[in-house]
Amino acid sequence: MSALVSADALAVGYGGAPVLRDVGFALQAGERIGVLGPNGGGKTTLFRALLGELRPAGGSLEVRARCASVPQTERSRLDFPVSALDVALMGTIPGRAWWRRPSRADRTAARAALARVGLADRAERTYGELSGGQRQRVLIARALVQDARVLLLDEPFSGLDAASGARLEALLLELAGEGRGVLIATHDLEQARRWDRVLCLNGRQIAFGDPAKALSHDVLAATYGGAIVRLPPADPDPTAPYEVILPPHHHHHDHEAT
Amino acid sequence: MVGHREADAARDALDRPLERRVLERGDAAAAVAHEVVVVLAVGPVALVARDALADVDALHEPQLAQQLEDAVDARAPDAATLRAQAVVDLLRGQGAVVAVEQLDDGVAGAAAAVARLGERHERVLAPRRLSRRRHRLDRSGQMQIRLIPIRIDGEAVPTVSPSPTVLEPFQLPFVQRALVELLLLSVLAGTLGCWIVLRGLAFAAHGAAAAAFPGLVLADGLGFAASLGGFGAALLFALAVGRLGMHRREAHDARTALALVAALAVGVVLASDVFHSAASVESLLFGSLLAIDPGDVRLAAAAALLALVATRLLGARWLATGFDPAAARALGVRSSLPDVLLLALVAFGAVATLSAVGALLASALLVVPAATTRLVRERVGSWQLATAALAAAEGVLGVWLAVQLNAPPGATIAVVAGAAFALVALLPRTAEASA
């Protein structure tokens, strides 16, 4: 079975020098890949290339399934007068001629997608009034409405409490089980260890593979520019040393500039 | 002056019945007689005409009561005529100014009694347009009343209704035309206004309307269609400045303000120093709702129709782009055409409101109603309906108040809209409490 997405020596940029190069990975159906990297490391650029917004400046990128983006919920306007159903319905825009309004079938599909992410009873609620986890799931529903087999999630767990995070993680596992490919951009190293593969980016591809093997100290140092602090074990009988990664500008979320 | 004739006629009407009770009037013979016998009338109410020669005050004789003359009021004695002053103060017409020109139909001399309501319709013509094309105001910027049609007889007038109603102003044809204009514009306010508020274009809309002002002055001076000049300037402004504001507002506000001030300044300079049309500046800036012509109504109808069609076709895209521009791009809304069309519509809508509320008060229709209902509506559809209804109600109330108070209608509507916003903003929010 061929991969949903495969990149080889891919270079992407915004007209000038590529901001991301040497990318070579494959996303198989049913796989969840954690995309690690500092801000400006190229995570958003890679996603935009997968969505077709940016053309490869070099190498090859093959996207064999429809990709849909699931952005951070804070990027959307929480004060907008839209319901969860309205947001899910935005997913029908790509499949519709511009002069047409959402059909009954579109509405049915949007409701089904909301039911799929466990929000059937929240369809009429105002989007901004939902919890962070619920909003994230509404945006996943919007991606499902597009019939996307590849989901690109940008920091989906940021700002979620443990229960919401666990629920979202279970949902991503289910979606992968349906044969979808999931790319998850994240800063959370511990979480990334639980995905099937990790892709480390910092202007170029640092590593790709099984998290247990790929996330070596050297890889992390190269990914995060050496901003790694090794903490002495607090436990008298430590089973493993503890590393803390301090990505530069962790609170700076301007992906637009990358 | 007609006013003088009216006043004299009124006094004559008053004098006639009085004269029957005057016992003695001036007698030319008394001036040359050696002896005059004066018979005093004893009675508390009789009047003595104050003629110079025959007036005798018998100071040494006691009187039963002090005799005062009734004041001869300089008003028409007829109650029905007095009520006609709801429109124009007839007897003080020389000193009164109204915001709009009121021209006479040229047959003011006719003295036949006519029905009170019918008289207004027949004698007070719909005002003609003050500005833009043909008429010029005087230097004060306001049109003096030139000729006031009045009744000059004191006869009893058959009345159509026993008393004037609060709806009476709405029977005037130019008020009715203003209402039609406002109802059309409230459709515009309900559709386009909501997109303006939702997409953060309130300042751009205000700026586009202000930019239309020098366009109107240019059109006036150079002799091409006013709405074309206004739309050209507003479109230029909206596309040049509004485009950036849709996505990155912070850096953009200052530029909008700069362009807005420049537009106003250019307009004033053009009007006063180039085309010498400074007198019409006021009506261009604040509107002349009671002096609109059918062309203005057609323009408003076109704008309302365009806004409805565009909302239906492009609403989903405008919503998605405003909700999250990056996500909208990912959804395939990559063309900037929908947003450009929105800005063009903002420019067109701003020009359509100019005749009603003027370049500086366009926001009273395009922004304030939508911002008011936004406080209480949670979905785009119901928000737009509520906004159209509110804008219509504010417009009707504003016109009624303007006619009653003889206030400028555009500013009155703006005040009503602002008051409605304050009222709704101060109301306890039940929706939030339950959510």
Q: Which residues contact A165 (CB under 8 A, 6 or more apart)?
A: A133, A157
- Local structure of A13: helix, strand or coil: coil
Cβ separation B332–A90 shorter than 8 A: no
d(CA B25, CA B147): 38
Instruction: Quickly tell me which residue has 């009476």 as its tokens.
Output: B168
Put simply, the answer to whether B379 touches A86 (Cβ < 8 Å) is yes
Half-sphere exposure of A150 (CA within 13 A, CB side): 22
Residue A68 has a pLDDT of: 92
> What count of other Cβ atoms lies within 10 Å of the Cβ of residue B253?
12
Question: What is the residue-averaged pLDDT of chain B?
Answer: 73
Number of Cβ within 10 Å of residue B407's Cβ equals 14
The better pLDDT of the pair A190, A198 is held by A198
By the 8 A CB rule, do B342 and B318 touch?
yes
Residue B24 has pLDDT above 60, yes or no: no
Facing residue for B312 by CB, picked from A53, A89, A101: A101
Any residues with CB less than 8 A from the CB of B118 and at least 6 apart, and which?
B160
Query: What pLDDT shows up at residue B4?
Result: 46
Query: For A48, which residue in chain B has the nearest alpha carbon?
Result: B330
Q: pLDDT of A78-114, one tens digit each?
A: 889 999 999 999 999 888 887 888 899 999 999 999 9
C-alpha dist (Å) from residue A39 to A57, A218, A220, B203, B384: 21, 19, 14, 34, 40
For position A105, what pLDDT does the model report? 92
pLDDT-wise least confident of B96-105, B285-294, B328-337, B380-389: B96-105
pLDDT for residue A187: 82
Instruction: Please count the other Cβ atoms lying within 10 Å of the Cβ belonging to residue B267.
Output: 24
Query: Of A77, A129, A256, which has the smallest distance from its Cβ to B322's Cβ?
Result: A77
Cβ pair A77:B312 closer than 8 A:
no
**Distance (Å, whole) CA A85 – CA A125:** 8
Backbone angles phi, psi at A58, to 5 degrees: -170, 160
Residue A144 has pLDDT above 60, yes or no: yes
Q: Which residue has the higher pLDDT, B171 or A210?
A: A210
| Tokens 């307009």 found at | B267
In B199-252, alpha helices (H): 202-222, 226-237, 243-245
Chain B residue closest to A152 (CA)? B330
Q: Is it the case that residue A252 has pLDDT exceeding 50?
A: no
Which sign does the torsion angle of CA B402, B407, B408, B413 carry? negative
Q: Band of the pLDDT at A62, cuts 50, 70, 90?
A: very high
> B223 versus B306: which is more confidently predicted?
B306
Per-residue confidence band for B39, with pLDDT thresholds at 50, 70 and 90 = low
Q: Which of B313, B329, B378 lies closest to A53 in CB terms? A: B329
Element (H, E) at A184: strand A181-186
Q: What is the pLDDT of residue B126?
A: 45
Task: Using an 8 Å CB-CB cutoff, list chain B residues near A256.
Answer: 326
Question: Is the Cβ of B329 closer than 8 Å to some Cβ of chain A?
Answer: yes
CB distance A71–B329 less than 8 Å?
no
pLDDT score at B113: 47
pLDDT in tens, B98-144: 555 555 554 444 444 444 443 444 444 444 444 443 333 334 444 33
pLDDT band at A75 (very low <50, low <70, confident <90, very high): confident
Token pair for residue B89? 């103060």
Q: Is B246 exposed, middle or buried (0-12, 13-18, 19+ CB in 10 A)?
A: buried
Q: Higher model confidence: residue B349 or residue B34?
A: B349
Least confident of A32-41, A196-205, B80-89, B135-144: B135-144
Q: Which of A190, A186, A187 is nearest to A152 (CA)?
A: A186
pLDDT at B7: 47
pLDDT classification of A221: cutoffs 50, 70, 90: confident
pLDDT for B58: 62
Three-state SS for A36?
Answer: strand
Mean pLDDT value across residues A210-224? 84
Confidence at B348, pLDDT banded by 50, 70, 90? very high
Q: What's the CA gap between A186 and A195, in Å, rounded?
A: 11
Mean pLDDT of A137-148: 93
Going by the DSSP 8-state scheme, the letter that residue B69 receives in this structure is P
Residues A174, A205: contact at Cβ < 8 Å? Answer: no
Q: Do A82 and B377 touch (CB under 8 A)?
A: no
Instruction: Give whole-number Cα distances, B231 to A151, B312, B344, in Å.
Output: 45, 23, 9
In B223-357, alpha helices (H): 226-237, 243-245, 253-269, 281-286, 294-323, 325-330, 337-357
- H or E stretch at B388: helix B380-405
Closest to A253 in 3D by CA, of A50, A74, A35, A54? A74
Size of chain B, expressed as the number of residues it contains: 435
Mean pLDDT on B352-357? 91
**Residue B11: CB partners within 8 Å, gap ≥ 6?**
B72
Q: Find chain A residues with C-beta within 8 A of B377's C-beta.
A: 81
| CA nearest neighbour of B127 among B151, B98, B85, B90 | B98
- The one-character DSSP state at B105 is -
Which candidate from B316, B317, B383 shows the least CB-CB separation from A81?
B383
Supply the pLDDT for residue A192.
Answer: 85
- What does the pLDDT read at residue B420? 96
B323 touches A: beta carbon within 8 Å = yes
pLDDT-derived band at B65, boundaries 50, 70, 90: low
pLDDT in tens, B206-261: 999 999 989 888 887 887 888 888 899 899 888 887 666 565 556 677 878 888 89
A-B contacts at Cβ under 8 angstroms: 74
A1 or A143, which is more confident?
Answer: A143
